[in-house]
Structure 1
Amino acid sequence: MTRSASLPKQPGRRILSVWLSQLAIDRWRQVEGIGRGEGRDASPLVLIAETAHGPRIEAANDAGRASGARKGLMLADARTLCPQIDVATYDPASDLDFLEKLALWARRWGPWSAMDAPDGLLVDVTAVAHLFGGETRLLSDAGKAFTARDLAVRLAIAPTAGAAWALAHYGPPATILAANDDMEARLSDLPVAALRLDDDVLLVLKRLGLKTLGDLSERFSEASGRDALHRRFRNRKSPMANPLVRMDQLLGRVPEPLLPVIPQQMPLVQRRLMEPIRHRELLDQVMGDLAEDMARELEGKGEGARRLELGLWRVDGEVVVRQLELAAASRDPAHICRLFAARLDDVDAGFGIEMLRLRASWSGPLALGQGDIEASAQKHGTSLAACIDRLSVRLGKGAVQRPVPFASHLPERAQKWKEALEPEPVSQGELAFHERPLKLLDHAETIAVLYATPDGYPQKFRWRGNVHEVVRVEGPERIAPEWWRERGTARLRDYYRIEDSAGRRYWIYRQGLIGDGRGGLPQWFLQGLCA
């Protein structure tokens, strides 16, 4: 049997855009357990964020918008229009977390979905519409599913993410743009705001008389018009600030990268007890079993835990949660039990604890190690990471800090202090320096230097009341100022490694050159002590 040489034509890409037009209000309503139009939602309500000029409105319900409240309006101005307006706190972090969970839930309509922050989703529905009976029924199914969750939503399907977004926000409800439709003609009546541009760019286009996508298309049809727009916006690198890039993405002329939301399975182990426990000895025994199970789970993934959450379910329904963060990835059961021991002293078991659950909400790669080497290390002393964990549990995670490298060639800015439990900073590339002294002073101290010529080697210097005679000199090493951070009058530095007659070694520098036009005579400073 031979297969035909002609293959079926592959369908074009189809993107479903979901606009949750009242995401913040809908999430707040679900947290409060209030239905749409019921309770507090029936009266004017706004969600506010604190700013330097006072509370500002970030979202409003239907009654609030009817009374004149809108996003960006100050609360004091809104209350002049509606004195009885109700207020709740705006929580963008929780909204983003809610949107991420919705993105995972929305994968029922396609193989992958992406967040379109702050209030939208994008779902790839290519070649899956036939499973729902067509794209019209797919939109209907999605609309009913979001409505069942009490979420206000607008939907659209188009060949590109930009076109789907534009139709969901500014087109008729439940619009479908077919692959063979003339996209420019179908979208020509939409406003330029449908290109997902920054507000300042929209203002510039409005002043240029470009109000709709059709106006932009007319300019694009002429090479001179496109060149003029390109010159005006060529310095804007972000797609949200360049209408040419956004228009090309909308029409499918250039690709638009999308970042799918991928669920991560967190290692989780639990114990359901036949009889509730109330005594600390039994609790420690079950905790040890959980730590052993977690170690096996993490070892199978080649990972170690950085954050652990322990939940204890009491007979009366109360749940006690204890959280722990580690300085380095670990799956040592004894170490985990030892750290949790300090967190379980104040646990009230009530009538008994019937279930325990341990979850690693944050983990990192951890290679397998030989047991005898680890045992030897524990025999000779406690590791630094274990010491940091113990101090953090006892004193608080903010009490222990560690130095981390910082991308600056100036010695006093080459490192910063961060909390020991914070993750390692993203590498910005290693900067290669000459050898640095073992000890740097907190602040460079002024010294008086005698030298043979204005730009010659130092001969003697006075520091803290004592005169030191220089017998050996190495240098200079010239370090330029950070021109992007300091003023144009900042002066060069010439560093010297010197040794005095007593054999003590110092790291000094001259700030400025004679005749550099950036101040008076050069000044000398001592910044470090060499080995």
Structure 2
Amino acid sequence: MTGRRIVSISLPQVAMERWQRQMERTGNAPSEDLPTALVADGPHGQVIHATNRAARLAGIATGARVVDMRAVCPELRVEYADLAGDAQALKRLSLWARRWCPWTVVDGADGLILETTGSDHLMGGEAAMLTEMEARLSTLGLSARLAVAPTWGAAWALARFGPVRAICTEESCAADLHALPVAALRLEAETVLLLRRLGLKTIGQLAEVPRLSLTRRFARSALEMNPPMRLDQAMGRLAEPVASVEARAPILAQARLPEPIQDPTAYVPQLCEEVCAQLEHQGLGCRQLHLVVYRTDGEVRRLEVATAAPSREPVHLCRLFQDRLERLDPGFGFDLITLEARRVEPIATVQTQLGGGGEGGVPLSHLIDRLTARLGPRAVKRPQLRESHLPERAAVWAAEQGAGATAVQARPIRLLHPPEEVRVLYAVPEGPPAQFVWRRQTHRVVRYAGPERIAPEWWRDRPGTRLRDYFRIEDQAGGRYWLYREGLHEDGRGGDPRWFVHGCFA
């Protein structure tokens, strides 16, 4: 063990409590005295997934078949469980729990794991932290059992088989787990049954068995069926890190509010200043900012703004949130606001003038940011290069900047879309044109360069697609054009070649 502190939150009735809240919103909530169960599909028919208090008192067991439980309790009310909705709700709850620490993950179908190492002092110690967690979860209508321990395994065991709130230290870990049943080691039911038949009912009894004997018996078993490995995880002899799926950005600022508020506008400037100070200290600029507000009812709302270039100017970044904060649904109010710099890049301090002042006017990147924030990311586009042989596909208008393609020949500054067909006269079939008629004007060719052959893209090539031969043409008036011949004589892909003007040079 290395001083880590892990909090396990067990929510044994989360599915039923969530269903009851939904029924209360619609006015169809059943009486608390009516035995009610949520069911899910099992290998041999429907099984009990969750129960209310009346059903548990009537002897309804979770995991049992519905047909068997109806014999025990004929008045049992049965509803279908929303497994997918429960999983999504638990995932949202794990994000909401980041008000206490930056690392949170979902633990199974009814729990959360939080790594609170170094965070408890912000709440007045671990005892006060667990009390606050229980109180806030209670306001959401969720009953919880909590435990903090040096390891994931120990915290999980105490949260489900220990007292309602348990605090375990490195020195007391073995003693705290000694009397707990072997099921507290997160083992499969078959393994638990086997250990009980061997007379090993508690973790203490399992720990007293010679290590060699256990290793030989379960050497080839999976982790969920391997008591020695699970015991090592609980005791800290085998690492089990908390790998958060969505790790919090290292650069962030937060505002904890003593009372819920409806409008976070007044707190955004200070949060931007704190984030920009951290960025400047590390020589970075941000490309994305995420404003996250935590509602008192457990919901989380987000706003995201992006910049065209790395920035760490608080006034500019704060302005990007204008006219967007009103889109947040406050519900019953926010009590925590965080501002996160998600995408950061190195940015150098550049002196633009000899006197040290800045240039006048609004930088182009700031103008793009303001237009994007006001009109939306899809309304502001920029030319973006693509990897394509064909000129009309080599550049597109896109909202995001991507990887570019490099041109191998000189290209005109203006492309015609679509290319315009012309009539030509030429001396040899595969040579340049001697003159061409375009837009009712006759152009006599005095100079040319080419041809540059552009073959069809093989992944888009069709049986009727023809080769292109491009020529840079200059006429008698000094005009410079980009012409191409589509197809060759007797290429088997059509009749005579066709000529097009595709662009104009400066």
TM range (shorter): 0.5 to 0.7
Q: Read off the aligned partner of 2:251 and give its amino acid letter.
A: P
How far the C-alpha of 1:287 sits from its partner, in A, is: 3.4
SS in 2 for 1:389: helix
SS in 2 for 1:399: coil
How far the C-alpha of 1:378 sits from its partner, in A, is: 5.2
Q: CA deviation digits over 1:54-102, x for unaligned, max 9?
A: xxxxxxx33698269xxxxxxxxxxxxxxx9969696899599689934
- Equivalence for 1:304: 285
Q: In the aligned structure 1, how far is the partner of 2:354 from the partner of 2:328?
A: 32
The 5 A counterparts of 1:422-441 are 422=400, 424-425=401-402, 427=403, 430-441=405-416
SS in 2 for 1:474: strand
Structure 2 gap segments, 5+ residues each: 1-12, 23-28, 48-77, 95-103, 116-150, 154-172, 189-217, 230-242
Q: Read off the aligned partner of 2:105 and give its amino acid letter.
A: K
Q: Which of 275, 283, 291 is the equivalent residue of 2:272?
A: 291
Q: In the aligned structure 2, how far is the partner of 1:343 from the partner of 1:329?
A: 21
- Equivalence for 2:390: 410
Structure 1 gap segments, 5+ residues each: 1-25, 45-60, 69-83, 111-129, 145-163, 180-258
How far the C-alpha of 1:450 sits from its partner, in A, is: 0.9
Q: In the aligned structure 2, how far is the partner of 1:441 from the partner of 1:96?
A: 54
Q: CA deviation digits over 1:412-446, x for unaligned, max 9?
A: 11123322xx4x44x4x854521211111121121
The 5 A counterparts of 1:307-318 are 307-310=288-291
Q: Read off the aligned partner of 1:357 and give its amino acid letter.
A: I
SS in 1 for 2:349: coil
Change (3 A) 1:466 1:315: same
Q: Which moved more, 1:334-343 or 1:445-454?
A: 334-343
Q: In the aligned structure 2, how far is the partner of 1:95 from the partner of 1:350?
A: 17
SS in 2 for 1:101: strand
Structure ID, larger Rg: 2
Q: In the aligned structure 2, how far is the partner of 1:453 from the partner of 1:374?
A: 61
- Equivalence for 1:267: 251
SS in 2 for 1:287: helix
Q: Is 1:398 the equivalent of 2:388?
A: no
Is the Cα contact below 8 Å between 2:186 and 2:224 reproduced in 1? no
Q: Is 1:141 the equivalent of 2:185?
A: yes
Q: In the aligned structure 2, how far is the partner of 1:467 from the partner of 1:445?
A: 15
SS in 2 for 1:407: coil
How far the C-alpha of 1:373 sits from its partner, in A, is: 5.9
- Equivalence for 1:527: 502
How far the C-alpha of 1:302 sits from its partner, in A, is: 3.8
Change (3 A) 1:309 1:279: closer
Is the Cα contact below 8 Å between 2:320 and 2:370 reproduced in 1? yes
SS in 1 for 2:359: helix
How far the C-alpha of 1:411 sits from its partner, in A, is: 0.8
How far the C-alpha of 1:458 sits from its partner, in A, is: 0.6
SS in 1 for 2:451: strand
Q: Which of 346, 350, 364 is the equivalent residue of 1:366?
A: 346
Number of residues paired by the alignment? 341
- Equivalence for 1:343: 324
- Equivalence for 1:330: 311
Q: In the aligned structure 2, how far is the partner of 1:314 from the partner of 1:375?
A: 49
How far the C-alpha of 1:493 sits from its partner, in A, is: 0.8
RMSD: 5.3
Normalising by structure 2, we get a TM-score of: 0.53
Q: Is 1:484 the equivalent of 2:459?
A: yes
Is the Cα contact below 8 Å between 2:465 and 2:493 reproduced in 1? yes
SS in 2 for 1:391: helix
Q: Which moved more, 1:96-105 or 1:504-513?
A: 96-105
How far the C-alpha of 1:376 sits from its partner, in A, is: 7.1
The 5 A counterparts of 1:34-433 are 42=37, 61-62=40-41, 66=45, 101-102=105-106, 105=113, 108=151, 140-143=184-187, 174-176=224-226, 263-272=247-256, 284=266, 286-310=267-291, 322-344=303-325, 357-360=337-340, 362-370=342-350, 379-419=359-399, 422=400, 424-425=401-402, 427=403, 430-433=405-408
SS in 2 for 1:363: strand
